[in-house]
C-alpha cells in the first residue's frame, strides 16, 4: 500500500462553497426577507462564506454588512446541500442560524450596493418570495426553531435535496 503525504491528500479532497443566513422574525413571527438587486427573488439576510470563515461568524458578518445590525447568532436551525449546477462548478452547503426576534426594524440600514429592500413576511407567504429550494430550507428552519422552543434545546434540521427525476442528471 502506498501512502501519500498529508498536503497531497488534502489537496485531493473534494471542496464546496458555503453560505450562512439568519432567520430573523418580528415579534408577530413574520420572517425578515431581503431583496437582492442582482436577482429576481428574495432571500434571508446572509451570503457566501469567506475562505476559512466559520459559518456562525459569516452569518454575523453578512447580517452586519447587509442590514447594519449586530444580532446575536443563535443555534443552527437548518443545513442544506445544493448540487453543482450551471456555472457553479462545486456544490453549496447552506447554513441557517437563529437570528432572533427584531422588535424595531427602524434600526435596519440596507447595504444599497446589494439590496433594494426588506420586508417582514408571514410564514405562509414566504414560499412566494423565494426560490423553491430556499423555501424548503426556510420552512425547515422555522420548524426547527419551533421544535427547539418546545424541546427546550437546540434542534437543527438537515434539508435533503429532492432526488432528480429518473433518467436525468442534477
Instruction: Please name which of 70, 82, 114, 75 lies closest in space to residue 96, comparing C-alpha atoms.
Output: 75
Instruction: Please name which of 36, 158, 46 lies closest in space to residue 99, comparing C-alpha atoms.
Output: 46
Position 170 scores a pLDDT of 46
Phi, psi for 128 (deg, rounded to 5): -70, -15
Whether residue 142 contacts residue 123, with contact meaning beta carbons closer than 8 Å, is answered with yes
DSSP structure class, residue 9: H
Position 160 scores a pLDDT of 67
Whether residue 77 contacts residue 96, with contact meaning beta carbons closer than 8 Å, is answered with yes
Residues of the chain with pLDDT under 50: 169-170
Q: What is the DSSP string of 39-76?
A: SSS-B-SEEEPPTT--HHHHHHHHHHHHHS--PPP--E
Position 154 scores a pLDDT of 62
Instruction: Please name which of 24, 45, 23, 26 lies closest in space to residue 34, comparing C-alpha atoms.
Output: 45
CATH 3.90.79.10 assigned to 17-158: yes
Residue with C-alpha cell 413576511? 121
Please give the model's pTM, rounded to 2 decimal places: 0.87
Position 12 scores a pLDDT of 87
Q: What is the DSSP string of 109-150?
A: ---TTTEEEEEEE-GGGGGGTS-HHHHHHHHHHHHHHHHHHH
Position 106 scores a pLDDT of 96
Position 169 scores a pLDDT of 46
Position 10 scores a pLDDT of 86
Q: What length does the chain have? A: 170
Amino acid at each position: 500500500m502506498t501512502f501519500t503525504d498529508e498536503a497531497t491528500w488534502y489537496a485531493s479532497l473534494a471542496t464546496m462553497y458555503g453560505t450562512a443566513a439568519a432567520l430573523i422574525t418580528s415579534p408577530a413571527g413574520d420572517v425578515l426577507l431581503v431583496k437582492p438587486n442582482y436577482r429576481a427573488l428574495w432571500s434571508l439576510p446572509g451570503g457566501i462564506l469567506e475562505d476559512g470563515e466559520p459559518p456562525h461568524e459569516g452569518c454575523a458578518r453578512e447580517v452586519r454588512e447587509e442590514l447594519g445590525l449586530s444580532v446575536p447568532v443563535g443555534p443552527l436551525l437548518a443545513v442544506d446541500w445544493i448540487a453543482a449546477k450551471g456555472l457553479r462548478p462545486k456544490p453549496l452547503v447552506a447554513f441557517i442560524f437563529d437570528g432572533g426576534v427584531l422588535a424595531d426594524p427602524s434600526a435596519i440600514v440596507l447595504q444599497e450596493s446589494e439590496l433594494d429592500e426588506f420586508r417582514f413576511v408571514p410564514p405562509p407567504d414566504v414560499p412566494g418570495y423565494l426560490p423553491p429550494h430556499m423555501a424548503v430550507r426556510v420552512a425547515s428552519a422555522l420548524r426547527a426553531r419551533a421544535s427547539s422552543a418546545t424541546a427546550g434545546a437546540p434542534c437543527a434540521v438537515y434539508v435533503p435535496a429532492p432526488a432528480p427525476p429518473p433518467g436525468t442528471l442534477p
